A = this chain, B = another copy of it.
Amino acid sequence: MKAEIITIGDEILIGQIVDTNSAWMAEELNKIGVSVAQITSISDTPVHLVNALDDAGLRADVILITGGLGPTKDDRTKKVLAEYFNSTLVMHHPTLDHISSFFKRRGLGVNQLNSDQALVPECCEVLSNPVGTAPGMWFDHNEKIFVSMPGVPFEMKEIMQASVLPRLKSKNGNGFIVHKTVHTIGIPESILAEKLEDWENALPEFIHLAYLPNPGQIRLRFSAFGIDETYLKKAIEAEIVKLKEIIPDAIFGYGNDTLAGVVGKLLIDKKATVAAAESCTGGQIAHSITSVPGCSGWFKGSVVAYANDMKSGVLKVSADDIEKHGAVSETVVMQMAEGVRKLTNADYSLATSGIAGPDGGTADKPVGTVWIAVATPDKTFAQKYTFSNNRERNIIRSAQTALNMLREVLEKGIFKKN
Encoded as 1 (CB less than 8 Å from any B CB) or 0, chain A from 28 to 43 comes to 1110000111111111
Is B38 in contact with A40, judged by CB distance below 8 angstroms? yes
Q: Is A335 an interface residue (CB 8 A)?
A: no
Q: In the complex, A28→B282 CA distance in Å?
A: 28
Instruction: Count chain B CB atoms within 10 A of each CB in A10, A24, A209, A393 and give the residue with the most.
Output: A10
With contacts A26-B14, A41-B22 taken as known, whether A310 is within 8 angstroms of B305 at the C-beta atoms is no
A12 within 8 A of B: yes
Whether the pair B299, A302 counts as a contact (CB closer than 8 A) is: no
Q: Judge whether A161 is part of the interface by a CB distance below 8 angstroms.
A: no
Say yes or no: A26-B39 contact (C-beta < 8 A), given A209-B73, A303-B304, A313-B343: no
A125 within 8 A of B: no
Interface string of A262-276 (1 = CB under 8 A from B): 000000000001011
Q: Which residue of B lies closest to A288 (CB)?
A: B283
A71 at interface, CB cutoff 8 A = yes
Residue total for A at the interface (Cβ-Cβ under 8 A)? 106
Q: Which residues of B contact A35 (CB under 8 A)?
A: 13-14
Q: Is A341 part of the contact surface with B, judged by Cβ < 8 Å?
A: no
A154 CA to B391 CA, complexed, in Å: 12
A359 to B35 alpha-carbon distance, docked (Å): 33
Taking the complex as formed, is A19 at the interface, i.e. its CB lies under 8 A from any CB of chain B? Answer: yes
Interface flags for A95-115 (1: CB within 8 Å of B; 0: not) read 000000000001010010110
Residues of B within 8 A of A282 (CB): 286-287, 289-291
Taken together as a complex, chains A and B put the C-alpha atoms of A141 and B312 apart, in Å, by 63
Q: Which of A84-92, A187-195, A236-244 is the interface stretch?
A: A187-195
Q: Tell which of B36, B40, B299, B393 touches A39, judged by Cβ atoms closer than 8 Å.
A: B40
Which residue on B lies nearest to A214, using beta carbons?
A: B17
A1 on interface, CB distance cutoff 8 Å: no
Q: Is the CB of B299 within 8 A of A286?
A: no
Closest 4 CB pairs of A and B: A282-B290, A15-B27, A283-B286, A283-B283
- B-contacting residues of A (Cβ < 8 Å)? 9-20, 22-30, 35-43, 48, 52, 55, 70-74, 106, 108, 111, 113-114, 133, 152, 154, 177, 179, 181, 188-191, 193-194, 200, 208-213, 219, 221, 223, 273, 275-276, 278, 282-287, 289-291, 293-296, 299-307, 309-310, 313-314, 343-345, 358-359, 388, 390-393, 395
Sample of 8 further A-B pairs with CB below 8 A, known A15-B24, A37-B48: A9-B210, A16-B23, A16-B179, A18-B19, A19-B39, A283-B284, A296-B307, A302-B302
